[in-house]
Chains A and B, each alone.
Chain A
């Protein structure tokens, strides 16, 4: 069976890590990597792997879309650049998986709501944020047991794993993640906090999830639900680990997690890359599967 061809927009930490994962995919074949700096490490790595590259941004890719049969693009640029990229690609009928916190399209957190995206033929799907991918499953695991009045997450990532896009988009990170906690996680109100830690050697991504339940927490059912959810996330990020908790303190339910990556591009500490890229790839594969089966027929849209 022929794989669906894809382009990777953005040659930074996330785009490059995604390339390594996509090269192993059964459904997707990465053909292009798009950057803006001809000397970027990501573009060099892509050329090594036989991808076509351009340093001309998305405009450098557009003339090649039809010829190379690109049907899916993963955008790992920044929240500021994404809307324009998305517009240009959608006009050519390319489905865009958005790894920036721009959040134009509906959110996808695969372990929670991948199935909801089946058959929707969405032209733009958003991956929330690395912190969102790591924590929203836990919020959802609690919320499927009983109502969650408030959920708050703290994502701590090593400074080395946070590239310039992430740093410029820190407000978008907190806003988009908080919104994802509500819309996908199911909490009535969400809050997100991100912390960069420059320690050497770099720390493994850590995530804390605090949920405040409406009634007294049903401890046994919440514990079982969280364990099941962690197993689900581990299917695409094996280094997703429960370190402590759930701790029950009145109506507070706190879960302490660590996310180690596969070390495809940055070393294993940068689990924040993996949780994002693995989730995006899984989402892309779902769409690719539908495309292969002929149930996803994207049409060019002018907007």
Chain B
């Protein structure tokens, strides 16, 4: 693989996807410290919101330590070069949330839908574009659709005004060939000026390999997370991917050593549990389950006496999609009842 001279944009996730393993309890000081550290290392784009995006504060996904507005207003003025992005899932967040994020100084909005449901994003993408924001269409659980289907969904988002389309491996299920096929299919139908991005999870330890496959197939934006802090077994560890890029001659503009320091000195000490591929995270990747379900399944499993691994396998079999956290307690109750009967 010769990727020498490719230029890509790294996008850090630890203050958004990292909210999942932190149960949305990252403090304002931690947010500011990590964001300014990433900025100083040269990371150009940093995502900050509730783990489930703007408006995610809820019983269903968890109430955060602070509102999206508080986090954004604390972080954005402290950054010298880096821009901040916000995630928005239609059905959870609304155009009002988007406008609020814009008022707070967000430069990028990423509108996320399940990979087959792009047409719920029209209001949000077109409004984001009207506000002059860098507007990304973020197609989640992209392993659940064939490459050509994904490309058509990406084209819809492009038609609403998105200037960048993501193939998002929310379950950490994909293998490099899956990524190559999907990025290639997107590239074949999107306008040449529309960027393509890839968001990985590390549940099968494929974060780096998949991100390289994405770059090779033409992706220009790659998501990762300092120290991997993210849902499931975490996101592609950004400091590792950046070091690999440096060795391969892929230009990221991010300082290898400074990013390592942010990961090791600031992010690792924040972790409630080590971010690693434990049995449950591996099942997420193997069975194709939304990574944010991990802690919910562990908690419901402990409460109702059902192995969390069994809950996760069943969630995969039922073809649940992102956002269906409410299924987990319901399912654990059913499984617990069935076991008592047996």
Contacts and interface: CB of A to CB of B under 8 A. Distances in A.
B30 interface: no
B2 interface: no
Given A198-B117, A206-B327, A175 B334 contact: no
B330 A197 contact: no
Interface in B295-342: 318-321, 323-324, 326-327, 329-330, 333-334
Interface stretch (B66-74, B87-95, B181-189): B87-95
B117 A152 contact: no
B122 interface: yes
B25 interface: no
Contacts of A111: none
Contacts of B327: 156, 206
Interface in A116-146: none
B116 interface: yes
B230 to A, nearest CB: 21
A193 B60 contact: yes
Q: Which of A171, A175, A203 has the most CB of B within 10 A?
A: A171
B114 interface: yes
A274 B119 CA distance: 23
Contact of B321 (A152, A167, A195, A243): A195
B1 interface: no
Given A170-B90, A194-B91, A196-B120, A256 B114 contact: no
A264 to B, nearest CB: 25
B114 A198 contact: yes
A254 B59 CA distance: 10
A189 to B, nearest CB: 11
A196 B91 contact: yes
A282 interface: no
Contact of A254 (B96, B119, B318, B329): B329
A197 B120 CA distance: 12
Given A174-B94, A193-B92, A198 B330 contact: no
Interface residues of A, number: 33
B91 A197 contact: no
A252 interface: yes
B320 A197 contact: yes
A210 B61 CA distance: 12
B108 to A, nearest CB: 20
A162 to B, nearest CB: 8
Contacts of B59: 150, 152, 210, 212, 252, 254
Contacts of A191: 58
Interface residues of B, number: 30
A164 interface: yes
Interface in A197-228: 197-199, 203, 206, 208, 210, 212
Given A196-B114, A197-B320, A168 B122 contact: yes
Contacts of B326: 154, 156, 206, 208, 256
Contacts of B94: 171, 174-175
A144 B223 CA distance: 48
Contacts of A244: 329-330, 333-334
A226 to B, nearest CB: 15
A52 interface: no
A197 B333 contact: no
Contacts of B319: 197, 199
B117 A159 contact: yes
B159 interface: no
A190 to B, nearest CB: 11
A243 B333 CA distance: 10
Interface string B50-67: 000000001110000000
Given A194-B91, A196-B114, 19 more contacts: A150-B59, A159-B116, A167-B117, A167-B119, A168-B119, A168-B123, A170-B120, A171-B94, A171-B96, A174-B92, A196-B117, A196-B120, A197-B321, A198-B116, A208-B60, A210-B60, A244-B333, A254-B59, A254-B329
7 residue pairs, one from A and one from B, having the closest CB atoms:
A199-B319, A208-B326, A210-B59, A256-B330, A171-B94, A194-B91, A198-B116
Interface of B: 58-60, 90-92, 94-96, 114, 116-117, 119-120, 122-124, 144, 318-321, 323-324, 326-327, 329-330, 333-334
20 contacts: A152-B58, A154-B324, A154-B326, A167-B117, A167-B119, A170-B123, A174-B92, A174-B94, A193-B323, A195-B91, A196-B114, A197-B324, A198-B321, A206-B326, A206-B330, A208-B326, A243-B334, A244-B334, A256-B326, A256-B330
